[in-house]
Structure 1
């Protein structure tokens, strides 16, 4: 049951056609782009993939398509959490049945559950599936934090809870999880700007937004940091730090999808309430991508 994944796992975007439907041709090209550039895994139907706007039919088809297209070349992880425990269980069971390698389960948003409620939510999901589970802590989206001690408690209690995507923006919390976790429990940074630091402390890698734009570079950054090559990892990190910051100048995935459109990899189409990037911010993104030679 325990896995040992590491490196740069992309939280892949979902391309849309101008009529609003999923653009599977563009999506296949993105998967090829990642496999050619050594991305270490793919998260489908996550925050960056605008999962909250997908219908159940789209959710099912997109996961199935991803599993078949990737064909075991790298792990495929499907987002399955939501703010209803029963719906999260249904999503998780569905994703498992479609052949994913793991599920990424975000803590419940909007409801603001107590610690007891969080424990119950993750416990019920863990008891409902056998597929490996990666917890997802992103307080900026959910308005609630998964405490470090609860992460450790869940990791020790459930064999199929194998890791966490830590996007609290709090390196001290990441450090506490790394200090107290079981030896084979994986910690992935959910913040691109803190991924280098997290891996230097012992994290397994990153579940990344910016890897959509620079997959090889972020793979190389994670590898260099993991083997203690600080000179190379610092060089890559500082080179792309401004691009990382610009990818969050507006709500994710607006900037990163804009960047991919500039690269000619998809149409600049979002699902409402996501919308096109503001002009001033777009100009900054274009300038930085041009400086880096990406466009």
Structure 2
């Protein structure tokens, strides 16, 4: 589990102008993260626009990332859904070679009760051949996994090793940290409150802005984990304005604009998502130039 302490990055999927997967840019992006201190990579999460990728494209993305990574960083694969039986079948049949854990989002759209969420992850835990990291993101799923439910899952299923907590509520995060077993990883899923969550006992972040500013953001998290509060907050306040910017028009429009400004990818998204407006792109560009 120590492999997932620190900064993980939810990788985007770069697209060519014809909206095919830009494999060269994806490979370069992986190498950029490795060179700049990121601890692990998350593949085919929400930021990857995975909802718009075909199964064949997902396999291509996985292959390119594994080849570019060359075993240097741990890899977490996004595998979630709101059809429990379908997800279990996928976990059983999927080729997971080269991956170290899965990140599984709470069922979306269905709006299950806490008992329904518990039973869903019971089925996931029993089927998964890899350690499982839960993903709580009420803004996307329309249901919140309460700290008590996460604690129950953590204690009942030893292969559920952590949670990406993205409710955006520091009080809920602190309650969660206080409840779960000491070795259970509470990982921030909100870039803006990553540092306070880490200082409160969290184990780092699965980040979006970390992809655009990998060296600085990962160093901030390492400082926080070491309790070097003053130096960590210096970095936090330098980075913070860009966090507001990259989420101003949704994810991954903002981070793709930043990565384009850094000449890592083309600024292309698949519908229904669209690229950042000219005004936002200009603001992000000015930040990158002055950082």
Find the aligned partners of 1:165 and 1:193 in 2 and give their Cα distance: 14
- 1:64 shift after superposition: 3.3
Q: Is the 8 A contact 1:105 1:133 kept in 2?
A: yes
Which residue is equivalent to 1:221?
220
Which residue is equivalent to 2:283?
284
Which residue is equivalent to 1:155?
154
Q: Is the 8 A contact 1:3 1:162 kept in 2?
A: no
Instruction: Give 3-state SS (helix, strand or coil) of 1:134's partner.
Output: strand
Which residue is equivalent to 2:269?
270
- 1:71 shift after superposition: 2.8
Find the aligned partners of 1:110 and 1:271 in 2 and give their Cα distance: 21
Q: CA RMSD in A?
A: 1.4
Q: 1:95 to 1:240 in 2, by over 3 A?
A: farther
Structure 1 residue runs of 4+, over 4 Å off? none
TM-score (ref. length: structure 1) = 0.95
Which residue is equivalent to 1:178?
177
- 1:3 shift after superposition: 5.0
Q: Which runs of 5+ in 1 are unaligned?
A: none
Which residue is equivalent to 2:239?
240
Which residue is equivalent to 1:104?
103
Q: Is the 8 A contact 1:64 1:98 kept in 2?
A: no
Find the aligned partners of 1:87 and 1:65 in 2 and give their Cα distance: 26
Which residue is equivalent to 2:43?
44
TM-score (ref. length: structure 2) = 0.96
- 1:89 shift after superposition: 2.3
Q: Is the 8 A contact 1:81 1:92 kept in 2?
A: no
Q: Within 5 A, what are the aligned runs for 1:5-84?
A: 5-84=4-83
Q: 1:243 to 1:94 in 2, by over 3 A?
A: farther
Q: Which runs of 5+ in 2 are unaligned?
A: none
Q: 1:126 to 1:180 in 2, by over 3 A?
A: same
- 1:96 shift after superposition: 5.5
Find the aligned partners of 2:34 and 2:97 in 1 and give their Cα distance: 21
Instruction: Give 3-state SS (helix, strand or coil) of 1:151's partner.
Output: helix
Instruction: Give 3-state SS (helix, strand or coil) of 1:48's partner.
Output: helix
Q: 1:6 to 1:147 in 2, by over 3 A?
A: same
Cα deviation, 1:243-282, whole Å, max 9, x if unaligned, reads: 0111110110001001111111111111111111122222
Which residue is equivalent to 2:254?
255
